[in-house]
Amino acid sequence: MFSENLHFFEKLSIFLIETKIPHEKIKFLKNTISLKGGFIVTNPSTADVILTILKSPARISRYIGSETRKPIVSIEWVDKCVSKGARIEFVDYLIRGIEEDAMDWTTVEEEEEDQDLFDEDSNSSSSRSPIYTSENEHSDDGRDVDLDPRFLNTSYECLRPTPLKPKFNAKLVELLEVIERAREVNDQWRNALSYRRAIAVLKSYPRDIISHKEIKKIRGIGSKIGYQIESYLRTGTITEAEHILQDKRFHTLELFASIFGVGFKTALSWYRKGYRTIEDCKNHPNLTKAQQLGLQLFDDLREKTLPQNSPFSKRRMSREDVEEIYNIIKENVKKLDPGCVLQPVGGYRRGKELNGDLDLIISHPDEERVPSLLNDVITTLTEGGYIKNLLYRARSESRTGIIDHLEKCFVAFLQPSTQIKRQVDFIIATQSQFASALVGWTGSRQYERSLRRYAKREKKMVFASHGLFTNTKPRILIPTSTEREIFDILGVPWLEPEMRNC
């Protein structure tokens, strides 16, 4: 008899911030929503409405990134709808501080893009938990398995070796990386970071994961990612990742963010303006200088964010490409001043086959020579017809006039054999900075993060690529002359660059 009310959430996609909501209540909400025709999505950008119990906008924003266009509503609204038996206005339940932006949602239809089912329906993976309480459904993934004793169960990636090409868990890693990138382009960097840490774990784990009981013991894998892995073990894939890969919006955002000078915020804002191609971006009214360069050189550089197998990235450098460029630079620099010391770092030093750029430290035993070094190098290579553009330059005299950092310059370098402009990052270091520059510029990104976090948390030190310091009022420089010495002082194990690929 109230059949007209049965589906009062018809086609409404809802993102639920589960934090602080009691478990039972979550179950109730999810049940109610799907019962009434609505569905849960696991990404705020695809939701019509965001439900939460939280009150502070700051707290909320960490769950939804910069997604401010969607109405954020207290869960009491659902209760009210249920008691009225109808979908009521949520004006009275909007969370303060976001109404401004949220109001323009009343016009959802008009403003919303094509079918961005980013992960609509990933409710299939996160909201159905009651269905399989699993225990004995599958013979091989429910076993209680101890962690492999060779694996160091720490949250610091820098304490354990991570090879470039792990022998195990490759497919799983690949899928989780998709989700990581999706979180990133959606401006949820904390979530992306969690995925990155979980991925690092799997890359260093010395065998295939076979049991979900096993994974829950690992630091860095919690309930959400644990659930994703569990579902992977059952089905051989992760639905959310599959959906993301089908999603045009995701690919467009990644494409935009791969432009030098364009980050995730800009990529999102351009997408919202309706841009869909690189040509659209070129017509943007006020491009920054970096973006102009990034667009102008797009076909050469690309590489910023895109994974190796992206259809847009065909231009990574083989090791031979890198060596060709390195040799040219070395020759020219030695001619300029035979005392110079050159050291390629970055992915190349870690053994990567395909590199997006070349990172190169240049040093000189004579401190006096160092300040003028970068200019001379750039000038020589520009006159030689190699350096075509300057992408970024950190001057030695900063605003404060203090030179506590490394002088550096990123350029577009014309590779003779291919006539492709490659990004080369020059880093200048004095001899006393050389060791930390080496550690700091070899990476990986995640390795650097963990090393610095470890230095701060466990050793009360600050590590930066220009030096190791005490974490005291005025920082005191701890002199270091070799990589090994830095590792020793920090108390982290020596890892070959090839084992820093987390």
Partner DNA sequence: TGGCAATACTG
Partner DNA sequence: CAGTAT
Partner DNA sequence: GCCA
Q: From the annotation, which residues make up the binding site?
A: 357, 359, 425
**3-class secondary-structure state, position 393:** strand
Measured from the CB atom, the residue of 90 and 463 that comes closer to DNA is 463
Residue 391 phi, psi dihedral angles, 5° rounding: -90, -35
Told to check if 184 binds DNA by CB under 7 A, we report no
- Pick the closer one to DNA by CB: 87 or 304: 304
Report CA torsion sign: 162, 165, 168, 174: positive
Between 19 and 327, whose beta carbon lies closer to DNA?
Answer: 19
Provide long-range contacts, Cβ within 8 A and 24+ apart, for 408-413: 408/374, 409/374, 409/378, 411/378, 411/381, 411/387, 412/293, 412/297, 412/300, 412/301, 412/387, 412/388, 413/325, 413/358, 413/381, 413/386, 413/387, 413/388
Measured from the CB atom, the residue of 81 and 194 that comes closer to DNA is 194
Instruction: Give the residue ranges of the annotated binding site for Mg(2+).
Output: 357, 359, 425
Question: Coil, helix or strand for 136?
Answer: coil
Stretch that binds DNA, among 5-13, 143-151, 332-340, 442-450 (CB under 7 A): 442-450
Which residue number, 399 or 473, has a Cβ lying nearer to DNA? 399
Q: With contact defined as beta carbons under 8 Å apart, do 403 and 354 qualify? A: no
Query: What is the Cα gyration radius of the chain?
Result: 26
Residue 120 binds to DNA (criterion: CB under 7 A): no
Q: Which stretch binds DNA (CB under 7 A): 129-137, 311-319, 395-403, 482-490?
A: 395-403
Query: What are the two backbone dihedrals, phi and then psi, of residue 198, each rounded to the nearest 5 degrees?
Result: -65, -40
Does residue 413 touch DNA according to CB under 7 A? no
Amino acid at 162: T
| CB of residue 398 to DNA, shortest distance in Å | 4
121: contact with DNA by CB under 7 A = no
Q: Name the one range near DNA by CB under 7 A: 91-99, 110-118, 215-223, 429-437.
A: 215-223
Cα–Cα distances in angstroms (integers) from residue 50 to residues 105, 148, 502, in the given order: 12, 41, 34
Q: Which of residues 151-170 bind DNA (CB under 7 A)?
A: 155
Residue ranges in 271-330 that form contacts with DNA under rule CB under 7 A: 286, 288-290, 294, 304
Residue 143 or 265 having the CB closest to DNA:
265
Triad 306, 312, 315: Cα angle to 5°: 85
Would you call 479 exposed, middle or buried from its count of C-beta atoms within 10 A (0-12, 13-18, 19+)? exposed
Termini Cα distance of the chain:
60
Q: Does position 425 bind DNA by CB under 7 A? A: yes
Choosing from 69, 203, 452, 500, the residue that interacts with DNA (CB under 7 A) is 452
344 binds DNA (CB under 7 A): no
Site residues (CB under 7 A) for DNA?
A: 42, 62-63, 66, 155, 190-191, 193-195, 197-198, 218-226, 257, 259-267, 286, 288-290, 294, 304, 346, 357, 359, 392-395, 398-399, 404-405, 410, 423, 425, 445, 448-450, 452-453, 456, 462-464, 466, 469
